[in-house]
């Protein structure tokens, strides 16, 4: 085994044991203690996340160019890291104490989601790696909605299994992207049962079938799944996001039902509608840039 692979395995093992240690602490300590310890850890960790900060800086430069000063971008980067770390703390603690999810997350414009579900064909809920999106899904599940999320498996199977069990216990179904055929069948089944299927539409999609759309004025490879599923199931699309408010509270923001625009050419229909959905995601990122995961190589062909 190469040194690079050994180092990768070491990092994954360290992350796994850190997560298990955090879960053990969460089960025994009050939230104020856990939060204090973890926020202190985050302050130190920020100094050593050199690669993630480099990727985030490149992403911010691509997205904003000269629109924002270097100081503004540095602040967004630091706030982004803080929000991500704090979100992880909240997610792990709240999953072990579900009453805190109900108490600390507010749903805005819930009637829009209910209106979409009244059509009886399910809902494709489009979102992104924005705010504490796992808690958004858990909140809706605890409110009685039938919720699923399409996602990739994590690289560490042990961590993946733990998180899968947490989601399942709290009412969020997991539909893995692979095998692709099973992903399609499970997603369509959930929609036909008038359930909600979340699709995160904001990351680089390197597979066949990607569509290139404008994102912050740059072309980005994007998954067409949200539009394809909505077309096949004849169900509505509803964009849904979550952002942090004061303290430990977050607010779920539900957009109006997204109406697919029809074109004679099917590929053009997919392209144009994915572009429109991506524009909604960009709108939220521009409004709350600290809430988005800039550490991801969204424009992969532009980043090393």
Q: Which two tokens stand for residue 185?
A: 């069948």
Question: Residue 276's domain is classified under what CATH number?
Answer: 3.40.1130
Q: How far apart are CA 69 and CA 296, in angstroms?
A: 21
**pLDDT tens track for 141-193:** 999 999 999 999 988 788 889 889 989 999 999 999 999 999 999 999 999 99
Q: Which two tokens stand for residue 199?
A: 């699709």
- Mean pLDDT calculated for residue range 241-250: 92
* The model's pTM: 0.91
End-to-end CA distance of the chain: 25
How many structural domains are present in the chain? Answer: 1
Q: β-pairing, 218-222 with 211-215? A: antiparallel
Which of these, 162, 160, 196, lies nearest to 178 by C-alpha position?
160
Three-class SS of residue 211? strand
Residue with the larger pLDDT of the pair 96 and 1: 96
Cβ atoms of 83 and 290 within 8 Å: the answer is: yes
Residue 167 has φ and ψ, to the nearest 5°, of -60, -45
Judged against a pLDDT cut of 90, whether residue 294 lies above it is answered with yes
pLDDT at residue 46, as a whole number: 80
User: Across the chain, which distance is largest between two alpha carbons, in Å?
Assistant: 60
Which of these, 252, 248, 274, lies nearest to 261 by C-alpha position?
274
Q: How far apart are CA 18 and CA 22, in angstroms?
A: 6
Domain assignment of residue 137, given as a range: 3-302
Judged against a pLDDT cut of 90, whether residue 264 lies above it is answered with no
Q: Which two tokens stand for residue 72?
A: 């503004």
β-sheet bridge partners, residue 192 = none
Preceding peptide of 41 cis, ω within 30°? no
Mean pLDDT of the chain: 91
- Mean pLDDT calculated for residue range 206-233: 94
Judged against a pLDDT cut of 90, whether residue 114 lies above it is answered with yes
Q: Which two tokens stand for residue 113?
A: 């989601």
């Amino acid at each position: 085994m190469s040194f690079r692979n050994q180092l990768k395995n070491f990092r994954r093992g360290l992350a796994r044991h850190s997560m298990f240690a955090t879960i053990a602490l969460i089960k025994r300590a009050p939230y104020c203690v856990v939060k204090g310890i973890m926020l202190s850890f985050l302050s130190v960790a920020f100094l050593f996340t050199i690669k993630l900060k480099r990727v985030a800086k490149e992403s911010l430069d691509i997205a904003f160019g000269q629109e924002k000063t270097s100081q503004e971008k540095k602040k967004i980067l630091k706030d982004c890291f803080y929000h991500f770390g704090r979100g992880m703390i909240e997610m792990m603690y709240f999953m072990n104490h579900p009453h805190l999810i109900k108490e600390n997350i507010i749903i805005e414009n819930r009637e829009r989601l209910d209106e979409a579900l009244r059509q009886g064909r399910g809902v494709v809920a489009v979102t992104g790696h924005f705010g504490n999106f796992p808690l958004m899904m858990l909140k809706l599940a605890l409110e009685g909605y039938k919720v699923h999320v399409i996602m990739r498996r994590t690289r560490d199977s042990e961590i993946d299994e733990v998180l899968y069990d947490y989601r399942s216990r709290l009412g969020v179904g997991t539909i893995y992207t692979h095998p692709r055929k099973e992903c399609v069948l499970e997603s369509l089944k959930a929609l036909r049962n008038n359930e909600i299927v979340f699709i995160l539409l904001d990351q680089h999609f390197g597979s066949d079938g990607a569509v290139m759309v404008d994102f912050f004025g740059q072309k980005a490879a994007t998954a067409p799944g949200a539009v394809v599923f909505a077309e096949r199931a004849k169900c509505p699309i509803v964009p849904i996001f979550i952002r942090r408010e004061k303290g430990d509270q977050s607010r779920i923001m539900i957009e109006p039902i997204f109406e697919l625009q029809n074109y004679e050419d099917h590929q053009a229909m997919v392209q144009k509608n994915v572009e429109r959905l991506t524009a909604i995601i960009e709108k939220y990122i521009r409004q709350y840039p600290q809430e988005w995961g800039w550490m991801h190589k969204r424009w992969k062909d532009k980043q090393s």
